[in-house]
């Protein structure tokens, strides 16, 4: 299994990032997280995803391309 943590501002772009990962075979792992970035005045979000069917793990692999 390989793991990614998707992060970004709470915008439609973040939703598209998660949707793209799901369309590539990643699965949601746990609940999303939200936090207020007071310095920039925006909400930030994160969603963990995992993939079970993948090439052997290599620390140099580009997880977004998987």
Sequential pLDDT tens for the chain (66 residues): 899 999 999 999 999 999 999 999 999 999 999 999 999 999 999 999 999 976 788 888 888 777
Q: What is the pTM of this model?
A: 0.86
For residues 32 and 46, is the Cβ–Cβ distance under 8 A? yes
What pLDDT, on the 0 to 100 scale, is given for residue 45?
98
Please state the φ and ψ torsions of residue 43, each to the nearest 5 degrees: -85, 140
What pLDDT, on the 0 to 100 scale, is given for residue 10?
95
Buried b (16+ CB within 10 A) or exposed e, 22-39: eeeebeeeeeeeeeeeee
Please state the φ and ψ torsions of residue 20, each to the nearest 5 degrees: -65, -45
């Amino acid at each position: 299994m390989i793991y990614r943590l998707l992060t970004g501002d709470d915008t439609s772009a973040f939703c598209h990032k998660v949707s793209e990962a799901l369309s590539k075979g990643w699965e949601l792992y746990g609940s999303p997280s939200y936090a207020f970035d007071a310095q920039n005045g925006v909400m930030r979000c994160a969603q963990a995803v995992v993939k079970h069917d993948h090439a052997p793990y290599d620390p140099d692999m580009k997880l977004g391309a998987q």
